[in-house]
């Protein structure tokens, strides 16, 4: 398949240094979790707590405005020049298949599957799934939560990819017949649920793949049915979204996963029909190629994603599918893949994943592994063998794993152990790659206004000795009342108190500023001492003059968490650490042993004098909102410190994994102010 050689459009260089285009729109999608996510999503209503993204001081904001004027072309959606529709369509490769793979790409894959042991194994697994599908009932029109058809759309898509690829590899007509049954059933649906447009986009994608990959198997009458469905249910609505005036087209101006999924999904329909529906397809593609630049700029500079690891996956998946199909169908992605930061995107799952395969699941994320066939595509496109090595280890034999498979590459051995992802303001530290017992810390500042954010500035996770000792509880149920609206910050899992950070002067209000945006003020990674300091003052500006948290990984064996908080009036302060471990606090309250799976970790309270460690349930404080129906977090405890009447507080806790047979613990390090770190 064609994966290389896209020209760097001349406009790209002008993007560098210009402020990202900010849009006062936020929405969310899909629950980011394990291999097969329960797909859920919803639009924001108006007047929600986290909307505009602006993490700037007034001066910086003024400069940004000036920059916006100077970079007017780059700040507008069309900053990377996109040719008019007729020029786009003039590049079309006639014939099918042309989405993601050509006839010869499939033929080559068939040969590789016969010889490469990895591909052979994945093919066997895919075939088992295909055989199982033959007897499964077709998908039904089901909106189980009253809003989303998305799990149906995703199932239809997955089946079209699986059956289509298996037919390409094996030529068995039963796959074709089964694929038709699935499509025919979805043709009869009353609609593809455009009010929740992800559902429409993913279903259009499913039909595009079914139509294109099995084109030579369909009768002309079948093709006509599929074409009409794509046009009437998908493409026309996508064009209407870009023209404006629909109630569900806001995603065309959004900067997050919805943009990539909706443009990418409908874009697949447009590319499938570009020869027979040139006006609709051309108009959609020209608009989509401009619009998708908005979220793509959010990868800069280091490839991270502020919606958390699960949405990194959803966003990059559709982003790559669209770019890959543009290349196979038109021979170019019009320079989109060279938007700054996009080449780095594959670094994010590598670093955000700890030694147990669990992610640092900030924002609305589950901690399950990121399985991402697009890592193969990114690996080949940007010559990053480590991306391919990552996916080879976690892949679940997705059809796109087979299609984009890349062998070779040494994995992570040459990569530095630590990384700071700027703009997302996320840091990860570890003691080793490829060692299940390694020490791993994920730590973040970041922007509480980010789509899908939790109030988790300053929070961290910690793995060591094969155990996740310090955990993020992840998202709660998306269908809870006001979860994406006015009640968002009443839910424990989304509040700061549900994270591993500090709470100042607790009460019913949001316990960090929902508009707060915090930077990693210092980051230094040496082998004996790796540190990051988050300036959390913007998160607690109502309560404190200054709030900083430093995390230091000492000798790659111990983790020091040090908070420095100063206020004009005495504060009440809570410090929380959520853990699935059992906790035994020493009699003097100055240390505790965490135990899990026969392993131990010691927590030692180094400062302030007089404070004590205690154990609490993972439940709201008495002064916090107590919404019914929220997750009960059974099996999770928290280690807590409570300090009252503090004006100038240094809180320091040392976390030391205790390997079996380790001799008596070494004395704790002396404390120094964060300003001396
Ligand atoms: Zn969280």
Cβ proximity of 312 and 450 under 8 Å: no
- By CB atoms closer than 10 A (0-12, 13-18, 19+), residue 173 is exposed
Give the single-character DSSP code of 643: E
Q: What's the chain's Rg over C-alpha atoms?
A: 26
Phi and psi of 215, rounded to 5°? -50, -45
95-110: b (≥16 Cβ within 10 Å) or e: ebbbbbbbeebbeebe
Give residue 330's pLDDT band: very low, low, confident or very high (50, 70, 90): very high
Task: Output the CA 365–ligand 1 centroid distance in Å.
Answer: 7
pLDDT tens-digit series, residues 40-51: 333 332 222 222
Cβ proximity of 201 and 264 under 8 Å: yes
Its sign, for the CA torsion 346, 352, 356, 362, is negative
Helix, strand, coil % in the chain, rounded to nearest 5: 35, 20, 45
Task: Output the CA 310–ligand 1 centroid distance in Å.
Answer: 12
The H or E element that residue 389 is part of is helix 385-394
Residue 410 reports pLDDT greater than 70: no
pLDDT computed for residue 46 by the predictor: 26
Number of neighbouring beta carbons within 10 Å of residue 471:
21
Cβ proximity of 123 and 113 under 8 Å: yes
Task: Output the CA 669–ligand 1 centroid distance in Å.
Answer: 30
What integer is the mean pLDDT of 205-225?
Answer: 98
Of the given ranges (230-239, 515-524, 654-663), which has the lowest mean pLDDT?
654-663
Task: Output the CA 367–ligand 1 centroid distance in Å.
Answer: 10
Phi and psi of 409, rounded to 5°? 95, 140
Task: Output the CA 330–ligand 1 centroid distance in Å.
Answer: 41
Task: Output the CA 157–ligand 1 centroid distance in Å.
Answer: 30
- By CB atoms closer than 10 A (0-12, 13-18, 19+), residue 148 is buried
Percent of the chain with pLDDT over 90: 86
Tokens of 624: 């916090």
Task: Output the CA 496–ligand 1 centroid distance in Å.
Answer: 8
Residue 204 and residue 184: Cα distance in Å, rounded? Answer: 13
User: Helices H, strands E: what count in the chain?
Assistant: 19, 18
The H or E element that residue 388 is part of is helix 385-394
CA angle 259, 263, 268 (to 5 degrees): 150
Tokens of 379: 């690996």
Residue 217 and residue 214: Cα distance in Å, rounded? Answer: 5
Task: Output the CA 424–ligand 1 centroid distance in Å.
Answer: 15
Give the single-character DSSP code of 17: T
Give residue 663's pLDDT band: very low, low, confident or very high (50, 70, 90): low
Give residue 408's pLDDT band: very low, low, confident or very high (50, 70, 90): confident
Task: Output the CA 380–ligand 1 centroid distance in Å.
Answer: 33
The full DSSP string for 192-239 is --TTSHHHHHHHHHHHHHHHHHTGGGS-HHHHHHHHHHIIIIIIHHHH
Task: Output the CA 33–ligand 1 centroid distance in Å.
Answer: 13
Task: Output the CA 81–ligand 1 centroid distance in Å.
Answer: 38
Give residue 413's pLDDT band: very low, low, confident or very high (50, 70, 90): low
Its sign, for the CA torsion 461, 466, 467, 469, is negative
pLDDT computed for residue 411 by the predictor: 66
Task: Output the CA 471–ligand 1 centroid distance in Å.
Answer: 9
Q: Is 63 or 126 the better-scoring residue by pLDDT?
A: 126
| Cα dist from 293 to 288, 319, 321, 663, whole Å | 9, 10, 15, 56
Tokens of 278: 């040139």
Residue 429 and residue 442: Cα distance in Å, rounded? Answer: 7
pTM: 0.88
pLDDT tens-digit series, residues 423-445: 999 999 999 999 999 999 999 99
Bridge partners of residue 615, in order along the sequence? 639
Task: Output the CA 542–ligand 1 centroid distance in Å.
Answer: 22
Give residue 666's pLDDT band: very low, low, confident or very high (50, 70, 90): confident
pLDDT tens-digit series, residues 357-400: 999 999 998 999 999 999 999 999 999 999 999 999 999 999 99
Percent of the chain with pLDDT over 70: 87
What integer is the mean pLDDT of 596-603?
Answer: 97
Give residue 79's pLDDT band: very low, low, confident or very high (50, 70, 90): confident
Task: Output the CA 229–ligand 1 centroid distance in Å.
Answer: 40
Task: Output the CA 369–ligand 1 centroid distance in Å.
Answer: 16
């Amino acid at each position: 398949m064609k994966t290389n050689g896209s020209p760097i459009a001349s406009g790209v260089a002008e993007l560098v240094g210009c402020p990202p285009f900010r849009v006062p729109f936020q929405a969310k999608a899909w629950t980011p979790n394990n291999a097969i996510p329960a797909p859920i999503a919803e639009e924001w209503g108006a007047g929600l707590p986290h909307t505009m993204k602006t993490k700037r001081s007034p001066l910086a904001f003024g400069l940004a405005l000036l920059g916006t004027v100077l970079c007017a072309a780059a700040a507008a959606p069309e900053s990377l020049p996109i040719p008019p529709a007729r020029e786009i369509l003039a590049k079309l490769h006639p014939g099918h298949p042309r989405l993601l793979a050509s006839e010869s790409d499939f033929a080559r894959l068939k040969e590789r599957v016969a010889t490469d042991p990895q591909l052979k194994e994945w093919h066997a697994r895919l075939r088992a799934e295909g055989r199982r599908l033959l007897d499964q009932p077709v998908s039904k029109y089901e909106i189980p939560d009253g809003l989303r058809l998305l799990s149906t759309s995703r199932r239809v898509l997955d089946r079209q990819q699986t059956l289509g690829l298996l037919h390409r590899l094996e030529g068995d007509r039963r796959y074709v017949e089964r694929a038709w049954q699935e499509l025919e059933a979805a043709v009869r649906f009353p609609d593809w649920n455009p009010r929740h447009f992800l559902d429409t986009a993913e279903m259009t994608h499913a039909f595009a793949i079914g139509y294109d990959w099995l084109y030579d198997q369909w009768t002309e009458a079948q093709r006509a049915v599929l074409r009409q469905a794509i046009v009437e249910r998908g493409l026309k609505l996508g064009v209407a979204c870009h023209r404006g005036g629909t109630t569900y087209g806001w995603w065309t101006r959004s900067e997050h996963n919805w943009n990539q999924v909706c443009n990418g999904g409908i874009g697949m329909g447009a590319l499938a029909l570009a020869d027979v529906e040139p006006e609709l397809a051309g108009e959609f593609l020209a608009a989509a190629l401009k619009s998708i630049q908005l979220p793509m700029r959010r990868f800069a500079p280091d490839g991270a994603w502020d919606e958390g690891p699960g949405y990194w996956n959803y966003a990059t998946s559709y982003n790559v599918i669209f770019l890959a199909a543009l290349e196979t169908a038109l021979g170019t992605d019009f320079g989109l893949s060279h938007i700054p930061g996009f080449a780095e995107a594959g670094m994010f799952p590598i670093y955000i994943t700890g030694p147990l395969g669990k992610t640092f699941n900030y924002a609305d994320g589950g901690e399950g592994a990121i399985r991402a066939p697009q890592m193969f595509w990114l690996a080949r496109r940007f010559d990053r063998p480590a991306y391919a090595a990552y996916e080879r280890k976690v892949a679940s034999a997705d059809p796109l794993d087979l299609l984009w498979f890349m062998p070779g590459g040494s994995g992570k051995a040459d990569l530095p152990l630590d990384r700071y992802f700027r703009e997302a303001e996320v840091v990860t530290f570890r003691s080793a790659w490829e060692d299940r017992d390694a020490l791993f810390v994920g730590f973040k500042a970041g922007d509480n206004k980010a789509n899908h954010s939790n109030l988790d500035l300053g929070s961290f996770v910690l793995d060591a000795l094969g155990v996740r000792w310090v955990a993020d509880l992840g998202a709660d149920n998306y269908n809870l009342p006001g979860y994406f609206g006015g009640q968002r910050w009443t839910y424990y899992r989304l509040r700061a108190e549900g994270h591993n950070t500090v709470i100042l002067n607790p009460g019913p209000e949001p316990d960090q500023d929902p508009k707060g945006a915090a930077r990693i003020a210092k980051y230094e990674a040496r082998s004996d001492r790796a540190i990051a300091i988050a300036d959390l003052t913007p998160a607690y500006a109502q309560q404190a003059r200054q709030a900083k948290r430093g995390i230091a990984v000492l000798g790659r064996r111990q983790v020091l968490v040090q908070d420095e908080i100063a206020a004009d009036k005495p504060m009440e302060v809570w410090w929380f650490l959520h853990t699935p471990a059992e906790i035994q606090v020493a009699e003097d309250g100055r240390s505790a042993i965490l135990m899990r799976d026969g392993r131990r970790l010691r927590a030692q309270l180094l400062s302030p004098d007089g404070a004590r460690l205690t154990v609490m349930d993972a439940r709201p404080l008495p002064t916090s909102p107590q919404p019914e129906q929220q997750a009960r977090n059974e099996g999770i405890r928290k280690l807590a410190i409570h300090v009252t009447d503090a004006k100038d507080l240094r809180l320091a806790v040392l976390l030391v994994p205790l390997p079996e047979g380790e001799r008596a613990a070494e004395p704790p390090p002396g404390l120094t102010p964060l300003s001396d770190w």
